Amino acid sequence: MSAIVSENLCKASVDCSKEGQEGSGGGGGGENVRGGGGGGGGGGGCVTNHELGHFWSSINWKAVMARKVVAPRMFMRSGLIRKDLLPMFAGEGDHPRTALVGNEEELRDFFKDEAGSGKRYVVKYSDSSNAYGMNFIDCGSQVGMDAGVRKVAEDMRADKDKRVVQEYIEPLLIPDWAGGVMGGEREGGERGEGLHKFHIRALLLVVGDMDVYLFDECRVLIAPEAYKEDLVVGGRAVGTRDSRAEGGGEEGGEG
């Protein structure tokens, strides 16, 4: 990646617009995404989230990945890690089947041979957080799958936005614990035997062109409630938020 990105952020930080300098408000939630927090903000700030979004869209990413042009490395928090771009450029590896569908026809075409497969798929926006707009489609039966596809199709017709469809992988679970002991006894003698979803958040420091340092301590976020497989009711996601970090800008355990 170091050969195709530039060292500076100059394009993203020059020429403050009058609107950006004198804005009367605006979100304080960092990246301008669905489901992100609001907030105060006030005027000032050289580049607005709106301007950054336009700049991101103006870059010819196909030319960047073909090593014909360069692009700023971190002018925006998401960049190439957007859910609709990462599967395209992540290279070969062991990752779930993923597709980007831009309309209802592509959505239905993706699922045309999936009925009865027993697979489950998560359907999400490419730029959302906090599990906003997330749906699950269960392909165990034709009826259940059709219900899920209809729900997503209705949403797509309403907002005219693309979706990322990804095969749902059964998560690695961590046993419940009490008193510092896995599966230990809770107050009143009840034994904690639930299994919980979790994810590990590691911190990286990227320097120059480019050296990457991994902090030797990681944060583990554990779902407060035990994991249940009944994630789908009529094709809609139920209880997808599985992190203690309320408002943390993370997507309920689904990357």
* Rounded Cα–Cα distance for residues 191 and 188 (Å): 9
Report pLDDT for 46. Answer: 55
Report pLDDT for 18. Answer: 35
Residue-averaged pLDDT of the chain: 69
pTM here is 0.55
pLDDT over 90 (residue 108): yes
Range name among 82-91, 115-124, 203-212, 237-246 with the lowest pLDDT average = 237-246
Cis previous bond, 65, omega within 30: no
**20 or 137: whose pLDDT is higher?**
137
pLDDT over 90 (residue 154): yes
DSSP structure string for the chain: -GGGEES--HHHHSS--HHHHS------SSS--BT-------S--SS-HHHHHHHHHHS-HHHHHTTSS-EESSSSSSGGGSTTTHHHHS-SSS---EEEE-SHHHHHHHTTTTTTS--EEEEE-SSB-TTTT-EEEE-SSHHHHHHHHHHHHHHHHHH---EEEEEPPPPPEEE-EETTEET-B-TTS-B---EEEEEEE--EEEETTTEEEE-S--EEEE-SS---S--EETTEE-S----S-TTSS--TT--
Strands 181-182 and 177-178: antiparallel
Range name among 10-14, 165-169, 238-242 with the lowest pLDDT average = 10-14
Q: What percent of the chain has pLDDT over 90?
A: 22
pLDDT digits (tens, 9 = 90+) for 113-144: 999 998 999 999 987 777 788 899 999 899 98
Token pair of 66 as six digits: 């073909």
- Which CATH code of 3.30.1490.20, 3.40.50.20, 3.40.190.290, 3.50.50.60 fits the domain covering 87-170+229-237? 3.30.1490.20
Report pLDDT for 157. Answer: 92
CA distances from 245 to 10, 18, 20, 214 (A): 33, 36, 31, 22
**20 or 213: whose pLDDT is higher?**
213
pLDDT over 50 (residue 224): yes
pLDDT confidence of 230, banded at 50, 70, 90?
low
pLDDT confidence of 166, banded at 50, 70, 90?
very high
pLDDT digits (tens, 9 = 90+) for 34-89: 444 333 343 444 556 667 677 778 888 888 888 898 877 655 455 556 777 776 66
Distance of CA 188 to the CA centre of its chain: 39
Range name among 18-32, 71-85, 98-112 with the lowest pLDDT average = 18-32
**Candidate ranges 58-67, 211-220, 232-241, 243-252; pick with highest mean pLDDT:** 211-220
pLDDT over 90 (residue 165): yes
Q: Where in the chain is the domain with CATH 3.30.1490.20?
A: 87-170+229-237
Report pLDDT for 14. Answer: 33
